Structure 1
């Protein structure tokens, strides 16, 4: 699943006779206005729900390393529990080309689940939010008084920058419970949101795995989680 920027393809039209400079300028202006209007009407991203994360993507993007070189996506897994006893799950993914996963979830996905009854939301995210996404989360918490939010993150994004640190304090003061992922959280996400990678046989035909493989923690998972816990405690104390 991914958030993809919508693109409109040019429409081919039959060739027209040559125009004079004045008419050409008028047509160009009209076409420009039409294209601008069309772009404004198109949504900035597409949200697709229902699929699980490929195991290899989860293991790479959610790895709680200190330096996240090459990890240029944000993956967000969410669980929404409504007062009526209903539970909804899904995940979003972005490539940092349009909307971020957090912005998409809190702006477009969550509002459809909010009601006058209590709503408990837990988001497992591959990294903590940027400044803009943190502001979006804080606005959402102020707007929806029945919302209880827990944000569980694998890594801290640019945590040494003062603006980021202030943004994280902002969402916690707005009511968000923010903490780092531990081994138990990785096991939970693996069971609820991850699917085995597709394996091809010698003839290029996909083999259907009989069961999902077990989650195997990397060697320094607990050590890295403790490191990030200490950094987060310093930020939000």
Structure 2
């Protein structure tokens, strides 16, 4: 542990490599790591000589004056008496995500300082299974705080900026061991049917490129849906349109077929950005089952992406910007889907094996 020779409101300049590698690994469960480190940078967005600072805060575990790292930063920032007319971009790299109490403190801080935007990159999620901790993170996200699990690039940046490495080259070792699991947990916490998708999530998860663009995070399944009553009496006829990042797996295809059979007044249609494991026979059979069950499955084209952008994304009134070759990729995926539906007797696995859309 780094010795603390400062006033609690004064940041450290650097931490040791040993501290970094012990306290910042991305672990789902991390015992023996009671300390929390907050690496920060503050950038003024005014003239060329705008204010800039960075440092590290550690939580105070002393009984005489306990103080969380987030509270240390907030107190320190208030003491700077910065010009209120300038906008400031604050970035945190945390070893633990904020607790509910710290989340409330941050919300009050952001309400007080409307000229500050905050981005939080965390190595681990603190009590992520506890509803109160989940609620705190969700409130931060709803207040406009950018929340994300630290990526390889974030670790590399922290090493170069906040670690007294004495010229030692960065080695990730086992720092990102549970990174994907924690990223999925955080997405589940932040995701809600009542909240629109963030623009960066939409472009990454709904993109139909053969390979995910940078940063190379795993593409997950997102479903956006619209319900429309075809008659005044909603119980008589309903139309549900679903926009999916991945086409349904065989298990989901069977469940959807049963659902439509049990609810004949419901009309269901699916638009998928990409085909899920479409080179495997079982997954092709799932798509054909949907087709036989009168559940239309189509590939998202420009119009569907624009509809999603307009109805399900926090687009800030900006128009949808298609990525390069969007229509070309949609056409290619559409042709594969047509081959799957029109050639039920043919084994297309060898044809599609290397087409991992």
CA displacement at 1:49 relative to structure 2:
2.5
CA displacement at 1:74 relative to structure 2:
0.5
What is the distance in 1 between the residues matched to 2:23 and 2:86?
A: 34
CA displacement at 1:95 relative to structure 2:
4.1
What is the distance in 1 between the residues matched to 2:109 and 2:175?
A: 35
Aligned to 2:9: 47
- 1:134 maps to 2:119: no
Q: 2:70 aligns with which of 82, 90, 102?
A: 102
Aligned length in residues: 183
Q: 1:151 aligns with which of 111, 116, 120?
A: 120
- 1:233 maps to 2:184: no
Q: Which runs of 5+ in 1 are unaligned?
A: 6-44, 197-210
- 1:212 maps to 2:167: yes
What is the distance in 2 between the residues matched to 1:114 and 1:128?
A: 29
What is the distance in 2 between the residues matched to 1:220 and 1:72?
A: 17
Describe the SS at the equivalent of 2:178.
helix
Report if the CA contact (8 A) 1:3-1:95 is conserved.
no
Q: Which runs of 5+ in 2 are unaligned?
A: 192-357
RMSD: 2.1
Aligned to 2:35: 73
Q: 1:195 aligns with which of 164, 176, 179?
A: 164
Output aligned runs, 1:155-174, within 5 Å: 155-174=124-143
RCO higher in structure (CA 8 A, sep ≥6):
1
Q: TM-score, normalised by structure 1?
A: 0.71
Q: Structure 1 residues 100, 119: closer, same or farther in 2, change over 3 A? A: same
What is the distance in 2 between the residues matched to 1:2 and 1:104?
A: 16
